[in-house]
């Protein structure tokens, strides 16, 4: 009831907040998608492990919290059932941020000098795999480490038939000779991640073929 919820919330402190955080992120560290009941059970276990107590008047009593109150408490503490964001944990890595900065400076300088015809490379896929994308996460992350804590370890998408596309192009569109398509079947032996199928050897061959095409068809690409 509301009175019980208000009583529990009034006893929230940094120790209990840290245990909530630990209970949720421990699942991600184990590469397990956390759902509410297991999170609650682990939270209760950690509360008991640490012998967490709260003051009631002049008396210290063990902290207790029911399942429904815990769910309300998660939302109050800015947790939500939402999409697991794998990409931000990688993209906000300081090394990646620095590389993007260098790239943007080079592009800006090239735009000013009008020196080279810029060719962009990209790869993508289309498939039928199904992946659990939502769980309990923070509504707002305070740091890169928090983003990592709420991302699954060794994350791999599910199996399914897949088309992998690699291509190059410029402001005029795709370079037709560069478009490479590979079909990945279903089957247990098929790699789930498209990077496992476009390996260094196959990419190197594709890239050198692209360089030959650029020499023949696209002016001012040297550099």
Q: What is the C-alpha separation between 71 and 175, in angstroms, rounded? A: 53
Q: 43 and 116 share a domain?
A: no
Strand partners, 61: 54
Q: 44 and 152 share a domain?
A: no
What are the residues whose beta carbons fall under 8 Å from the beta carbon of 95, sequence distance 6 or more? Answer: none
Q: 150 and 93 share a domain?
A: yes
* CB-CB contact of 157 with 131 (8 Å): yes
Residue 46: inside a domain: yes
Global pTM reads 0.53
Residue 130: the pLDDT is 47
Number of domains in the chain: 2
Residue 178: inside a domain: yes
Mean pLDDT, to the nearest integer, of 85-90?
A: 73
Q: 11 and 70 share a domain?
A: yes
Q: What is the C-alpha separation between 149 and 153, in angstroms, rounded? A: 9
Q: 66 and 106 share a domain?
A: no
Q: 66 and 94 share a domain?
A: no
Q: 15 and 54 share a domain?
A: yes
- Residue after which a domain boundary falls, among 35, 57, 77: 77
Phi/psi-derived region of residue 195, left when phi > 0, alpha when psi is between -120 and 50, beta in every other case: alpha
- Residue after which a domain boundary falls, among 77, 102, 124: 77
Please tell me which residue, 107 or 6, carries the higher pLDDT value. 107
Q: 61 and 134 share a domain?
A: no
Residue 201: the pLDDT is 84
Return the structure tokens found at 68.
């429904």
pLDDT tens digits along 38-69:
999 999 999 999 999 988 778 888 999 899 99
Mean pLDDT, to the nearest integer, of 9-19?
A: 88
Percent of the chain whose predicted confidence (pLDDT) is above 90: 30
* CB-CB contact of 7 with 130 (8 Å): no
Residue 168: the pLDDT is 94
Residue 1: the pLDDT is 58
């Amino acid at each position: 009831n509301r009175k019980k919820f208000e009583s529990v919330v009034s006893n929230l402190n940094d120790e209990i907040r840290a245990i909530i955080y630990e209970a949720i992120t421990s699942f991600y560290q184990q590469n397990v998608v956390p759902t509410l009941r297991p999170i609650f059970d682990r939270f209760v276990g950690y509360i008991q492990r640490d012998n967490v107590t709260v003051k009631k008047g002049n008396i210290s009593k063990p902290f207790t919290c029911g399942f429904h109150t815990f769910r309300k408490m998660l939302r109050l503490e800015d947790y939500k059932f939402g999409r697991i964001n794998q990409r931000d944990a990688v993209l906000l890595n300081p090394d990646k941020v620095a590389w993007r900065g260098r790239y943007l400076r080079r592009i800006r300088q090239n735009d000013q000098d009008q020196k080279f015809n810029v060719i962009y490379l990209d790869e993508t896929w289309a498939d039928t795999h199904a992946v659990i994308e939502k769980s309990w996460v923070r509504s707002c992350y305070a740091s890169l480490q928090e983003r990592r804590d709420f991302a699954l370890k060794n994350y791999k998408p599910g199996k399914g038939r897949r088309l992998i596309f690699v291509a190059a192009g410029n402001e005029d569109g795709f370079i037709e000779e560069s478009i490479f398509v590979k079909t990945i079947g279903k089957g247990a032996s098929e790699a789930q991640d498209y990077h496992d199928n476009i390996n260094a050897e196959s990419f190197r061959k594709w890239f050198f073929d692209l360089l030959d095409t650029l020499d023949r068809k696209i002016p001012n690409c040297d550099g």
